[in-house]
Amino acid sequence: MLRVRRLLEQIDVSDRVAWTRLAADLGWYDQAHLIRDVTRHTGVPPSAYVAAQRRFLAPDDLTPGFVPGV
């Protein structure tokens, strides 16, 4: 769970997300494992999390590190 939280804190939803790089940087074996773990812990795949952040945050609030009560 801590690794998922660190991932969500590092996602910059205002930009294209480099999932493969984030997976490697945070210790996942590959992108597929990252997606599986995030989906299991948050209930949504990472791409859906980013899409929700983009819809609900004002453009000036799209900063890395926003993690809603995960």
Q: Is 65 left (phi over 0), alpha (psi -120 to 50) or beta?
A: left
Tell whether 70 is covered by a domain.
Answer: no
Tell whether 20 is covered by a domain.
Answer: yes
Tell whether 43 is covered by a domain.
Answer: yes
Tell whether 37 is covered by a domain.
Answer: yes
Give the global pTM: 0.71
* The pLDDT value given to residue 14: 73
Tell whether 36 is covered by a domain.
Answer: yes
Mapped onto helix, strand or coil, the DSSP state of residue 58 is: coil
At 34, which CATH number? 1.10.10.60
Domain that holds residue 14: 2-60
CA 51, CA 56: separation in Å to the nearest integer? 9
As a whole number of Å, the end-to-end CA separation of the chain is: 9
Tell whether 67 is covered by a domain.
Answer: no
Tell whether 66 is covered by a domain.
Answer: no
Domain total in the chain: 1
Which residues contact residue 11 at a Cβ distance below 8 angstroms, ignoring those fewer than 6 apart?
17, 22, 46, 49, 50, 53, 64
Q: What is the pLDDT of residues 8-52, one digit of tens each?
A: 888 877 788 899 999 999 999 999 999 999 999 989 999 998 888
